[in-house]
Amino acid sequence: MRPATLRALVIFFATGAYVGYIPIAPGTAGSLLGVVIGFLCRPFWSRRPGLFVTAFAVMFSGACYVADEAERLSGRHDDSRIVIDEIFGMVAAMAWLPGRMLWIALAFGLFRLCDILKPWPASLFDKMRGGAGVMLDDLAAGLYANLAAHLIWRIIAAFR
């Protein structure tokens, strides 16, 4: 593959099909794209959870490479135009939650909050250089959001 083609593919994927170029709140826009992709993943985590986890892990590894290359191209650590991390974080935040809008909105809000506040260990990952650091802090935020949303879901279910 020619270097120009590889560069174009890295930019395309790292910016979430150029969503990262939205001038206001590109991370939020990337998270919204993650909601759409999360809806597309629902059949896999519902019917084939092992396949979902395996595919997520493989694609996450590829996304670390893409984020690393994009960071190198931009010359900035965790450039705001790189939103592939928000996409994966949001998919993780939505996993195995009910598909109703209330739960998706809750997962979205919790993910954005955790992504901004970066509770430990997300704060440690955020300091890491390279693609793994770019990706892992958002994965941690997504997992925190997912756990919190599941806890709220279970508490509500217990009182019905």
pLDDT tens digits in sequence order for the chain, 160 residues long: 578 889 999 999 999 999 999 999 999 999 999 999 999 999 888 899 999 999 999 999 999 999 999 999 998 888 999 999 999 999 999 999 998 999 999 999 999 999 999 988 888 888 888 999 999 999 999 999 999 999 999 999 898 8
Question: Nearest to residue 20, comparing CAs of 72, 93, 85?
Answer: 85
User: What is the per-residue pLDDT for 76?
Assistant: 86
User: What is the per-residue pLDDT for 50?
Assistant: 92
Q: Is 95 helix (H, G, I), strand (E, B) or coil?
A: coil
In degrees and rounded to multiples of 5, residue 23 shows phi and psi of -70, -25
Q: Which residue has the tokens 């599941």?
A: 150
What are the sequence ranges of the domains in the chain? 3-158
Question: Nearest to residue 126, comparing CAs of 142, 112, 115?
Answer: 115
**What is the C-alpha separation between 78 and 5, in angstroms, rounded?**
22
Burial zone of 112 (CB within 10 Å; 0-12 exposed, 13-18 middle, 19+ buried)? buried
User: What is the per-residue pLDDT for 1?
Assistant: 59
pTM of the model: 0.94
Token pair recorded at residue 59: 């694609």
Integer CA distances (angstroms), 66 to 24, 80, 119, in order: 23, 14, 25
CB 70 within 8 A of CB 133: no
Q: Which residue has the tokens 């694609």?
A: 59
